[in-house]
Every structure is written in structure tokens, then in C-alpha cells.
Amino acid sequence: MLERENYKALITNARRIVIKVGTSTLTHSTGKLNLQLIEKLVRQLTDLRYQDKQVLLVTSGAVGAGMGKLGLREKPKTMPEKQAAAAVGQGILMHIYEKLFSEYGQVVAQLLLTRPDLADRRRFLNARNTLLTLLNKEVVPIINENDTVVVEELRFGDNDTLGALVAGLVDADLLILLSDIDGLYTGDPRKDENARLIPVVEEITTEIQGLAGSEGSKFGSGGMATKISAAKIAINAGIPMVIANGSQPDIIREILMGAQVGTLFIPREVKPHARKSWIAFGSNIQGKLWVDDGARKAIITNGKSLLPSGIFKIEGIFTSGHVVSIVNSEDVEFARGIVNYNAQELEKIKGNQCKEIVNILGYKDYDEVVHRDNLALRI
Ligand code: GLU
């Protein structure tokens, strides 16, 4: 429980977010699109845009929607049949997204990718530049595999992998995989009533891999195994990933508020620049610390951590793990950082030497209020 809390800021500060939705989430068991769910999804994504987050949607459902339209009850077996279903379904899918997003005034774009688009450096950069341009223009890119034309050897095969590669392509801060299951369990929850949801995975061990099994659903091609493969790609690229249940109302909002839902995979190492940039530009500032000139110089010139002695005033209601703004005595912001103490604790220890912390609070978890690894300049 506590572990997940420690990683909260990774999620709540994410600005560029890739969300992948699976076929089983987007369609009813009849194969027809679940309009109510897609409606809710679109509303949540637009709401993120309104918070100035950048959103990329990786959507499955082309084959599923095509099946529904063509009246097919079972997943097509041959490649040409699948591709034909995708050709019918992709248009239906985009039509729905276009219609719903435009009700909120949100512009969307379609990108259909194949593996060589990301394998070749020049094409990779080209795809990246296109996506970054769309994000700059406040568009929500809607991405799927180009199922209709891609040949077997050049397929991503499943959109979990595609989602992770797209997250890497745009240096996303967070990847969310929405599925028809709450997250990774210690067993199969459909068969084993003792199966527990795993809230945090810090390392993908063989044991974790073993939990994945390989079963997918009737319409999608994923299952837990492809989600674990996606997690490997994401965490190696320094991107945290969450698996959660897409049929839960408001799931995306809950995840981004830092609620304990789904399974969070911790990146191996958040790339320093990526990490610092989400601290510096993450929109979720929960408070403000006023520091004296000595502390300001120590941070800016010597790259030091922020200690309680340099703080003379605090503002806001925050807990440890939140991002706060750091300002000079004239109220000019020069840095942001993740705090190790909550507002009440800081109110008591501000202006004091580190050695006093334990006398004042009765305990001491850290010397630093903001460690330099969690501090980013904004000058
Ligand atoms: N690209 C496929 C589709 O849109 C889905 C692949 C997957 O389910 O992972 O139908």
C-alpha cells in the first residue's frame, strides 16, 4: 500500500499520457461497439486536455467493429478476412471518435502505424515529428495498427505493444492500458477466489511473468502476456505503466489523481531529463515554499537539496510526494520539487537545522525537504 503511495507523483504529474484501450473494453459481447463506454472515455480524455495534459489514444476495436458490422460472431481466422474486417471497422471506429470528441470541440487525428514505421530511424523520427506537431496543436492523435495492409511478419500483433512503442516514441510520462481486468493478479481471479490484485510491480521477475498466462479474450488479441511485454518496453524506456479496468467509470481520472487502482509498473530508471522535466513542467502544483537567499543560491549555483533551515514560509495543503513550487523572498518561482514532508510537518520544522527535526516531530524520515534528485530549476 505504502509503496504505491511513494510513486504517486510519477502519475499525478504526468503531462504526456498514452492511453491504450482494448477491444474487449470498447465492444459488447455481441461485437458491437459499446457506445456508452466510448462516450465516457472521450469525456475523460477531453477533460485531461482541458487540464493542459497531452493525450494520445491507442485504440483497438477495428477488427471487432468490422466483425459487428459484417455480422461475424467469431474472430476471422485468415489474414485477408481479418484485414477486411479491420478495413470496415477502422472507419466506423474513427467516425464514432470524431463525432464524440467534436461534441466537446476537441480535434482528433488518425495515425495508422506498422512496425517498420518505428524500426527505421528516419521513419521513427518522421512519425515522432508528426505526433509532436499534433500535440503542439492540441490535437488528440488516435492511433491503431494499420491492420488492413500490414503483412504478418511486419505486424506489432497487438496494441499493448503498439501502445508501449508509441509511449517511447513520444517520450510519454505515463502509459495506461485499459482492459477488461482490474490489473495483474496473484492468480486467475475468474478461477481462484484467493487471487489478489498486485498494486505495484517494481521489477518484472520470472514469477511476475508466470502470473501473466496467455489467454486473451474473444475479440481482442492481448491477454496479460502482451501487457507484461508492453510493461517491459515501457519501463526500460523510463515510462511508468498502469493496467486498469476500462469498464470502471472515471477510471482514467482516478488513476491520474493517484488513487490506488490497477497495477502500476515502476520504470527501471526515470531518465533524469524526463524526470526533471515532468517535475519542472508538471501542472499539478500543490503548494509553495518560500526560501531565503542562502538556500536559493545553494540550489541554483551548487545543485544542493533544499533543507528545512532555508524555508521561511509555506503555503498549500500537500503531502509527501507532491510537487511544490519553490520561490525566493520576492515570491518569484525558480524551482519545483517533490517534497518529503507534508504541509503540517513543514510548518513545524521550517527554519530549523536538520538535527532539530527529530526533536520537533518525534521522528525524522529525511534531512532534505526536497532532495536534489527530485528538484528541477525553472529559470
Ligand atoms: N489492431 C487491432 C484492431 O484494431 C487490435 C489489436 C489488439 O487487439 O491488440 O482491431
Measured from the CB, is residue 67 less than 6 Å from ligand 1?
no
From the CA of 216, give the closest atom in ligand 1: 8
Model confidence over 65-94: pLDDT tens digits? 999 899 888 888 898 999 999 999 999 999
Residue 93 to residues 7, 31, 45, 58, 196: CA-CA distances in angstroms?
A: 35, 13, 16, 12, 34
In the structure, how many helices (H) and strands (E) does the chain have?
Answer: 16, 13
pLDDT band at residue 275 under the 50/70/90 scheme: low
Domain spans of the chain?
2-276, 285-377
Measured from the CB, is residue 68 less than 6 Å from ligand 1?
no
Measured from the CB, is residue 340 less than 6 Å from ligand 1?
no
pLDDT band at residue 376 under the 50/70/90 scheme: confident
Measured from the CB, is residue 64 less than 6 Å from ligand 1?
yes
pLDDT confidence of residue 271? 60
Model confidence over 116-162: pLDDT tens digits? 888 776 778 788 889 999 999 999 999 999 998 887 767 787 899 99
> What is the pLDDT averaged over residues 36-48?
96
Contacts of 151 (CB under 8 A, 6+ apart): 79
Model confidence over 26-36: pLDDT tens digits? 988 877 889 99
pLDDT confidence of residue 220? 43
- DSSP class of residue 45 equals H
Kindly report the number of other CB atoms within 10 A of residue 190's CB atom. Answer: 10
From the CA of 147, give the closest atom in ligand 1: 1
Give the residue, 153 or 15, on which the prediction is more confident. Answer: 15
- The whole-model pTM stands at 0.73
Q: CATH class for domain 285-377?
A: mainly beta
**Domain 2-276 classified CATH 3.40.1160.10?**
yes
Rounded CA-CA distance 196/194 in Å is: 6
Measured from the CB, is residue 220 less than 6 Å from ligand 1?
yes
Contacts of 63 (CB under 8 A, 6+ apart): 23, 75, 76, 82, 85, 86, 89, 147, 219
Nearest to 172 by CA among 242, 87, 111, 260: 242
46 Cα to the center of ligand 1, angstroms: 23
Amino acid at 196: R
189 Cα to the center of ligand 1, angstroms: 24
Among 52-56, 186-190, 293-297, name the one with the lowest average pLDDT. Answer: 186-190
Model confidence over 290-307: pLDDT tens digits? 999 999 999 988 889 999
